[in-house]
Amino acid sequence: MAALGSGSGPTSRRRTHLAALTVPFVLALLTCSARCAGSDQPSNIILILTDDQDVQLGGMTPMKKTKTLIGDAGATFLNAFTATPLCCPSRSSILTGRYPHNHAVRNNSLSGNCSSLLWQKGPESEAFPLYLRKQKYQTFFAGKYLNQYGRKEAGDVGHVPPGWDQWHALVGNSQYYNYTLSVNGKEEKHGDSYEKDYLTDLILNRSLSFLDAKNGKHPFFLMLSPPAPHSPWTAAPQYQKEFSDVKAPRDGSFNKPGKDKHWLLRQPVNPMSNSSLNFLDDAYRKRWQTLISVDDMVDTLVKKLDNMKELDNTYIFYTSDNGYHTGQFSLPIDKRQLYEFDIRIPLMVRGPGIKPKQALQAPVLNIDLAPTILDISGFNLSLVNMDGQSFLSQMAPSLRNGTARPFFLVEYTGEGHPLQDPACPKLGPGLSQCFPDCVCEDAYNNTYACVRTFVEHNLQYCEFADSESFVEVYNLTSDPHQLENILKKVDPTLLQTMNQRLIKLQSCLGTADDFFFFT
């Protein structure tokens, strides 16, 4: 089985790829920004990042304005994935353009390197906003950053990551009321007044103020990170009765047993209890309710840009950090699993050179966001230490030439508690995220690495770092819901090929081109 490598450390990795390309013409091509489309003015960029928004189970249904204003006005990526299905390591991948084994953020805890001092000294100091500042972008952040951000052990609220001109970051994990912000390094406490404190609206209002005050001589970058649809699922007052008849979808793998899957998927009670079903249905409705405010945010922001006459020169990205499940394989609610409902994410982009109403099949990862944003800004991508590749060529081929990756890595390091849960003694130690009926959503041995491929085979191959050395293989063409583990039916030669690809991807330290195209 391939080892789940830790990498050689984010600050020690250096690359020589493209070092020989010193011909001025080549450098001119590398540094040419979206202004090549015919405008001399650098393009503005906005990244809207939601928290735990799925795309497989209807998570985009409430986003009617967003789909019209971004998706229909530009490109919708039908095969967008997270490199890891958990908030902090995923967001760290977005910021750095690196796989988790290269930025070394393993989970949502400080001990797992989430917003730790080690993260701050290493990968955070090389995150893409720093390079945008070098391109003279005015940068603004508001909302959830990393789950442990602002803790006293991690520099407290006074720590402002490099590269940000305006910083309005949530301390800790997602909340809608009664939270603390770091506002440019100063503590700002908030209560439970909808008009003053509802975080999704506050993020929008402060971004509008930033746009009003910006310097018109330089482009801007906004990263807006609302809490929705993460728990505690607190919708705005006017939306708390919406979707009252909605239930989580009952198709696919819903309430199915985890047959031939790793141990964690074999432990849930099946069929699920009525209490679990009622709980997950309630969560499903409330998640949708919180997203209506995000949809309003997009609508207001687009109108603002239009009134400022900046809309046609602004790229707007809409995505999430990971997917989510509600009852799939009898797991009540969470993410952290290798299956499509947890690793697929929404991704829509509009902007200069992007033709409207595109539905793109090329697979992209959230590690590709940073190089794509830097590509738009005109930054020389050969100078950055990233695993992702720009997908500007996929959505705007008139601006860039490029090729899609044939396969990619998804990896996750499980979290558990060393002591057993008193409510579930039969399960023993090592588990976490346990719900009523003793259904646990995570464990130390929920540690895996997967190769997902689209070329020749629509296949997923996963290896677990557990006592069983468990392997799961799925044919997504014949089995889109991943009901059957076909490990024992697959040609051994293909399994060997997938294993070798996994080993290569897990050891990657080079640029995208170094490892996307081996066979």
Predicted pLDDT at 79: 97
Weakest-pLDDT range from 157-171, 418-432, 445-459: 418-432
For residues 69 and 306, what is the distance between their CA atoms, to the nearest angstrom?
11
For residues 92 and 199, what is the distance between their CA atoms, to the nearest angstrom?
22
Q: Which residue did the predictor score with more confidence, 280 or 11? A: 280
Q: Which residue did the predictor score with more confidence, 518 or 324? A: 324
Residue-wise pLDDT tens digits, 442-477 = 999 999 999 999 988 999 999 999 989 999 999 999
* Sequence ranges of the domains in the chain: 44-401, 431-507
Mean confidence (pLDDT) of the chain? 91
Helical packing angle, 87-96 and 369-377, nearest 10°:
30
State the residue for tokens 């998706």: 71
**Residue 297 pLDDT greater than 60, yes or no:** yes
Beta bridge partners, 140, equal 166, 222
Query: What is the arithmetic mean of pLDDT over 301-315?
Result: 98
Predicted pLDDT at 309: 97
For residues 519 and 507, what is the distance between their CA atoms, to the nearest angstrom?
15
Report which of 331, 313, 308 is spatially closest to residue 433, judged by C-alpha positions: 331
- Report the percent of the chain where pLDDT is more than 90: 84
State the residue for tokens 């800004």: 377
**Residue 10 pLDDT greater than 70, yes or no:** no
Domain 431-507 in CATH 3.30.200? The answer is no
Residue-wise pLDDT tens digits, 19-58 = 333 333 333 333 444 444 445 679 999 999 999 999 999 9
4 secondary structure, DSSP code: -
- Report the percent of the chain where pLDDT is more than 70: 90
**Residue 14 pLDDT greater than 50, yes or no:** no
Question: What are the distances in angstroms from CA 401 to CA 10, 251, 374, 387?
Answer: 29, 40, 16, 19
Predicted pLDDT at 428: 86
Ranges assigned E (strand) in 110-194: 138-144, 166-170, 180-183, 186-189
State the residue for tokens 């069983």: 468
State the residue for tokens 């929008």: 204
H or E segment at 283? helix 274-307
Beta bridge partners, 412, equal 448
Question: What are the distances in angstroms from CA 474 to CA 414, 480, 496?
Answer: 21, 8, 15
CATH class in words for 44-401:
alpha beta
pTM score of the predicted model: 0.92
Beta bridge partners, 321, equal none
Residues contacting residue 142 through CB under 8 Å, at least 6 positions apart: 166, 168, 169, 202, 203, 206, 207, 222, 223, 224, 225
Q: Residue 1: pLDDT band by 50, 70, 90 thresholds? A: very low
Active site residues: 87
**Residue 339 pLDDT greater than 50, yes or no:** yes
**Residue 214 pLDDT greater than 90, yes or no:** yes
Kind of pairing between the strands at 138-144 and 80-81: unpaired
Beta bridge partners, 499, equal none
**Residue 9 pLDDT greater than 70, yes or no:** no
